[in-house]
Chains A and B, each alone.
Chain A
């Protein structure tokens, strides 16, 4: 499959699968940073160094160990249009830095988009595995396998005491950043979220809103990730994160139940109102889209809205982003035009499902 098809396709294959606890955990992701021994970090790389890194990665991708893991396509960012790069960012397959800053950036994608390897970003390699649902342990094991397979061809910069060396000392040691994307409308509506999030920050984890400026969490989507990379093993980091996420899941479920018991009409009204707006509005900005989608997804999870796929939040989160919209409609769009097209796209998507509102 060509990269063109990758980009045209609205959702990554893994998004169409489900996973454990996927009513609350949208995705689990693990990224590990690795650098080649004896080569300056990307910041100080010469053109020839950078090309060397890409060539060595290309060779490693062709090694028997990597071939066993599937077909990867390696593309230089300079061979992609800015719009295509932005689409990859919106699909969480590459970072904004790689798309916008990296002089010699490249990305290797496995067909199913579960594994992506960024080359010449801040570090020589950033191996990323992303899976639907609460599967952070599985994502780590997969990233670990990719790391081992790449190592059959590449020698990593490793320090006896400090571990894997990275361009930035905040990643040194394990080089791991594990994160879980959570939809927590129950905790937000019931006003418990701040208390819980500050508790989470006490145990070496970082929480931030996924969309929106700063820590404002548009769409009630939060990303929980480890902060420390040195002094704890990968397993400890994953276990700590998992333990906290499972507690957040319990709190979220309890909050949803309590909301339904305390004021079912209010909750149904909120959910159905948002559904009506998504189904009929002619202009939708990104922020309102996120909020309404969050309400509708909650309504689906609670059985208030039936016949609409629960994947709709995940799908439309990606499809209604600026670059994706422009890719989908095949033209450059001003922010005002985007709002109109976004509304149209949402209506179109809702019509795909045989929707029905309870009651």
Chain B
């Protein structure tokens, strides 16, 4: 396959850009990928795992973050936003792509959502839960699932099933309060 951009050299960099469900494929040669300095061609490399290149990676992230702060995005001025726990300014996160502490996720929650939607497949964790903090979390996850199922049962007028679900939800809610 020839490079899409120069149509001369073989395409060696392949990546797919997904924005809001729209997929665009790119096939570029090394040189064009480099010259273009395309954010997402770097993403393809930076996401990989052994020769993690923090420089490329930061470029990627700050690219994504700056997209967020493009015109039309109304929020308090970036300069004022800080993590109230570790003090990391949001502006620094946009430069390094790294948070300062676990609380940063809560401090910057509003800005994080759109970015997570871009770089991850979803914004809710569905995998492993730690054994230690796990009991409560597991119950809450189960509750979320049951509430969704209840809604569905009601909308399908499966009232017997809905009643059983409601009892189960009450039981778990009590368990959480204890």
Interface residues of A (CB under 8 A from B): 29, 31, 35, 37-41, 43-44, 92, 95-97, 101, 122, 144, 147-148, 151, 155-165, 167-170, 172-174, 176-177, 179, 194-195, 197-198, 201-202, 204, 206-208, 210, 213-216, 223, 225, 227-235, 237
Q: Contacts A43-B96, A151-B131, A168-B99 given: A223-B123 contact, CB under 8 Å?
A: no
A116 → chain B closest CB, angstroms: 13
A159, A161, A216, A229: the one within 8 Å of B102 (CB): A159
Contact across chains for A202 and B86 when beta carbons are under 8 A apart: no
Contact B48 A157 (CB under 8 A): no
* 6 A–B contacts from the bound complex (CB under 8 Å): A147-B128, A158-B137, A167-B99, A168-B97, A230-B116, A230-B125
Instruction: Check if B70 is an interface residue, CB within 8 A of chain A.
Output: no
- New A-B pairs, 20, CB < 8 Å, besides A122-B52, A233-B128: A40-B86, A41-B99, A44-B88, A44-B100, A158-B137, A159-B106, A163-B128, A165-B99, A165-B102, A169-B97, A169-B99, A169-B119, A172-B125, A176-B127, A201-B14, A214-B13, A215-B30, A229-B120, A230-B121, A231-B123
Query: B134 CB to closest chain A CB, in angstroms?
Result: 8
Q: Is the CB of A169 within 8 A of B129?
A: no
Cβ contacts under 8 Å, B45 to chain A = 208, 214-215
Contact of A156 among B14, B57, B130 (CB under 8 A): B130
Shortest CB distance B45–A (Å)? 6
Chain B residue with the shortest CB-CB distance to A198: B14
B37 at the interface (CB under 8 A from A): no
Q: How far is the CA of A288 from the CA of B119 in the complex (A)?
A: 37
Chain A positions within 8 Å of B127 at CB level: 163, 173-174, 176, 232-235, 237
Assess whether B75 is interfacial by the CB under 8 Å rule: no
Residues A41 and B115 in contact in the complex (CB < 8 Å), given A163-B127, A215-B14: no
Give the chain B neighbours of A157 by CB distance below 8 A. 102
B132 lies within 8 A of A156 (CB):
yes
Q: How far is the CB of A89 from chain B (nearest CB, A)?
A: 9
Does residue B54 face the partner (Cβ distance < 8 Å to A)?
yes
**A43 neighbours in B (Cβ, 8 Å):** 96, 98-100
Residue of A at shortest CB range from B134? Answer: A158
Tell me the B38-97 residues at the A interface (CB within 8 Å).
44-45, 47-52, 54, 57, 61, 86, 88, 96-97
Question: How many pairs of residues, A versus B, come closer than 8 Å at their CB atoms?
Answer: 189
Residues of B within 8 A of A144 (CB): 128
> Which residues on the A side are within 8 Å of B57 (C-beta)?
168, 170
Query: Closest Cβ of chain B: how far from A215's Cβ, in Å?
Result: 5
- Interface pairs A-B: 7 shortest CB-CB: A231-B122, A163-B125, A157-B102, A230-B120, A231-B121, A198-B14, A233-B127
| Residue among A163, A204, A216 having the largest count of chain B Cβ atoms under 10 Å | A163
Say yes or no: B122 contacts A31, CB within 8 Å: no
Q: Which residues of B sit under 8 angstroms from A35, Cβ to Cβ?
A: 102
* Of B33, B44, B112, most A-chain CB atoms within 10 Å: B44
Residue in B13, B34, B52, B98 whose CB lies within 8 Å of A95:
B52
In the complex formed, the residue of B with least CB distance to A234 is B127
Complex formed: what's the CA distance from A274 to B116 in Å? 47
Contacting pair A168 B121 (CB below 8 A)? no
Cβ–Cβ < 8 Å partners of A41 in chain B: 98-102
Write out the residue numbers on chain B whose beta carbons fall within 8 Å of the beta carbon of A216: 12, 30
B12's nearest neighbour on chain A, judged by CB, is A215
Q: Give the chain A neighbours of B25 by CB distance below 8 A.
A: 198
**Could you tell me if A172 and B120 are in contact, using CB atoms closer than 8 angstroms?**
yes
B123 touches A162 (CB 8 A): yes
The answer to the question of B133 belonging to the interface, with a C-beta cut-off of 8 Å to chain A, is yes
Task: Please tell me if the beta carbons of B13 and A160 are within 8 angstroms of each other in the complex.
Answer: no
CA distance A207 to B44 in the complex (A): 8
